[in-house]
Amino acid sequence: MRRTYISGVLACIAALTGITQAFGQQACKPVLAFDQVQFSGMQPPTLQRKWTAVVSVDATGCAADATGYFEVVFSGLKEVGPTIEFRERFKWVAPSVKVATLFGADEAVERYGIDNITVCPCPH
């Protein structure tokens, strides 16, 4: 009976150690910033305009070759209608990534920002 008790206690300790290590791992985040933002003129035949930007990715706090996702939040103006807000998801990779979104002929970008950056494994 004593062996059973000791085996149970050791099994619990092993399980708790594994859980503690899993929760103890740190999550890191890269630092993303906009660079080279442009809004094209209207492109025939659709008359759409293309918003482009280069997003710099400082992933020095991440493990080597880490990648992840982020969202660009847009606040757009429409010629006729209310201001619209929408999000587009992109993949980040160091050192930078080019992103683009199309807008209609009657739309313009009022504001934009970065949100929901996924965490990356920290370097060991």
Q: In this predicted model, what pLDDT tens digit does every residue of 58-111 receive, in sequence order?
A: 999 999 999 999 999 999 898 888 888 999 999 999 999 999 999 998 898 999
Question: Is the distance from CB of 84 to CB of 104 less than 8 angstroms?
Answer: no
Quote the mean pLDDT of the chain: 84
Please tell me the pTM assigned to this model.
Answer: 0.75
Residues 6+ apart with CB under 8 A from 85: 73, 74, 75, 76
Segments making up each domain of the chain, as ranges: 26-121
Cα 23 versus chain centre, distance: 22
Whether the pLDDT of residue 31 is over 70: the answer is: yes
Question: Which CATH topology does 26-121 take?
Answer: Immunoglobulin-like (2.60.40)
